[in-house]
């Protein structure tokens, strides 16, 4: 039987649900639900532009186009092509053009939720940070928090490493460790006995000469 879809209720009795959905549809169920394909079908995709601009308020008195939907750290977030992207970058690309790799979309207005392309300029990460310092968004010099409140810095015996040494991952517990405690002891013993260079010990244990030097001088593995 050819299964076609129609909006004519008289044709409902001729159509069947897919096998996974159970019995066929009859006119008895017409009062309780619509056709199966209309009820379960995915909604048609809306244009990206329509979804984007309905989330933008262009009536702000400061001239910014304010993003009114999802935000993170003040920056608008827009779901497109299977992932969330920063809304001001999407706006710039839709109206101005692609953003080259490695460049940031910086705000002239210092309003992270603004998506107006005229308020956005492209620059490197260093240029973006320099712009933030010049405009006072990043405290530096005498305005830095540790300059204004040095008592808040955890130094000396107040350092977390001093107060809770058991929390530091040492030796094999450190994910960056390339040798074990027993190998460290063997390296120090072999070098103390003479007849072997640091480079040879490094090749033997699969580490660099500088790693061996740090072990011997107890810059690393001081607890062993």
Q: What is the chain's pLDDT, residue by residue, as a tens digit (224 residues)?
A: 444 444 544 444 444 444 444 444 344 443 444 344 555 555 667 899 999 999 999 999 989 999 999 999 999 999 998 899 999 999 999 999 999 999 999 999 989 999 999 999 999 999 999 888 888 777 777 777 778 888 888 888 888 888 888 888 888 888 888 999 999 999 999 999 999 999 999 999 999 999 999 999 999 998 88
Tell me the C-alpha distance between 161 and 223, whole Å.
Answer: 14
Cβ 27 vs Cβ 13: under 8 Å: yes
Confidence at residue 35, expressed as pLDDT on a 0 to 100 scale: 41
3-state secondary structure 126-164: HHHHHHHHHCCCCCCHHHCHHHHCHHHCCCHHHCHHHHC
Strand partners, 75: 72
Q: What residue ranges in 17-174 does DSSP mark as E strands?
A: 56-57, 66-67, 71-72, 75-80, 83-86, 104-107, 120-123
Q: Answer whether 76's CB lies under 8 Å from 115's CB.
A: yes
Q: What is the rounded CA–CA span in Å between residue 17 and residue 3?
A: 9
Task: For residue 71, count other CB atoms closer than 10 A to its CB.
Answer: 14
Strands, E assignment, the chain = 56-57, 66-67, 71-72, 75-80, 83-86, 104-107, 120-123
At 39 the pLDDT is 53
Structure tokens at 211: 């790693």
CB 128 within 8 A of CB 106: yes
Amino acid 32: pLDDT: 42
Q: State the number of CA atoms in the 13 A half-sphere of 16 facing the CB.
A: 8
Record the pTM. 0.48
């Amino acid at each position: 039987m050819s299964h076609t879809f129609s909006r004519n209720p008289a044709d409902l009795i001729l159509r069947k649900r897919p096998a996974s959905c159970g019995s066929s549809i009859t006119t008895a169920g017409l009062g309780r639900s619509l056709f199966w394909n209309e009820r379960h079908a995915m909604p048609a995709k809306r244009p990206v532009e329509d979804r984007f601009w309905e989330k933008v308020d262009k009536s702000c008195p400061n001239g910014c186009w304010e993003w009114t939907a999802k935000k993170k750290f003040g920056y608008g977030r827009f779901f497109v092509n299977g992932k969330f992207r920063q809304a001001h970058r999407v706006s710039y690309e839709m109206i101005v053009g692609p953003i080259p790799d490695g460049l940031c979309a910086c705000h002239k207005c210092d309003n992270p939720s603004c998506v107006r392309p005229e308020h956005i300029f492209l620059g490197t990460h260093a240029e973006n940070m320099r712009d933030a310092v010049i405009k006072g968004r990043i405290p530096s010099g005498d305005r830095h928090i540790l300059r204004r409140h040095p008592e808040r810095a955890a130094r000396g015996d107040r350092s977390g490493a001093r107060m809770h040494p058991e929390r530091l991952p040492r030796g094999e517990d450190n994910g960056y460790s390339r040798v074990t405690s027993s190998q460290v002891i063997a390296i120090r013993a072999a070098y103390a006995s003479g007849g072997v260079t640091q480079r040879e010990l490094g090749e033997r244990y699969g580490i660099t000469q500088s790693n061996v030097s740090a072990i011997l001088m107890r810059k690393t593995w001081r607890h062993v």
